[in-house]
Amino acid sequence: MGDNARQEKGSSQTLKAVLGVRDLVFSGAIPAGERLSEISVSEHLGLSRTPVRAALARLEQEGILEAIPSGGYSVRLFSAADVADAIELRGVLEGTAARLAAERGITPARLAALRALIQNLDTVVLPGPDKMDLDAYMVLNAQFHEMVAELSGSRIVQRELERVMQLPFAGPSAFLNAQISVPAFRASLTFGQTQHRAIAHAIEMREGSRAEAVTREHARLARINLDFVLKDPALIERVPGLVLVSN
């Protein structure tokens, strides 16, 4: 096996380990505060200790695990304030991305792609909360937020956004699973789509301040959802990672 093949295999195994450990943590299978044994995790995932070791170090960098002074890692316990701060940070970074996209301008091809994405979201949202295809919305919503980050033209902003979105409750779709059975939540998606259109229009018109302000306000919808979800244990279980949050 050549060096490149070995590197690709190693990267694949590390990614598999990262996803496996993240799933164990986010599902609550490994409680907050519990120490992760490299050996037990390796056995559970059916992987060697080398990719598991790399995965644990990566998840510590993401802030999901904490390094133990005596060695190893434990699952981090988050406060409600931690979650709120993560959402706020996402809003700041996404707002910066939207402002940069507006101020720097985007190509006609990218503008056409942005308009098409907004139209696709409209198609999903306009039938109304009761008839909305939530799975389709989740996919398109994620694509919209990824596009805003890319349109910034800043690899630094993109990298930091990717980092904060690794937290289980910070991403733009974090609370959507909890919204399925709550009419008020589903109705809020219509307002969120209004904000999507306003963000896209501000970028198109090269209105940087407006793009940033609307994007930051859009992120605050998640704060409202967070406050609602934390009051209902049944909803908490539907949001990956919220089992790690202490009330």
The Cα–Cα gap between 198 and 231 comes to: 31
Distances (CA, A) of 247 to 26, 28, 77, 80, 233: 17, 16, 11, 6, 11
What distances in angstroms separate CA 58 from CA 2, 32, 61, one per listed residue?
26, 18, 5
Q: Tell me the average pLDDT across 14-43.
A: 85
- How far CA 5 is from CA of 1, 8, 219, 240, in Å, comes to 6, 5, 41, 34
Which of 1.20.120.530, 3.10.129.10, 3.40.50.2000, 3.40.50.1100 would CATH assign to domain 79-246? 1.20.120.530
**Assigned CATH class of 3-76:** mainly alpha
Domain boundaries, the chain: 3-76, 79-246
When pLDDT is cut at 50, 70 and 90, the band that residue 182 belongs to is: low
pLDDT tens for 219-238 read 988 888 787 777 777 777 76
Please report the pLDDT score of residue 177 as a whole number.
61
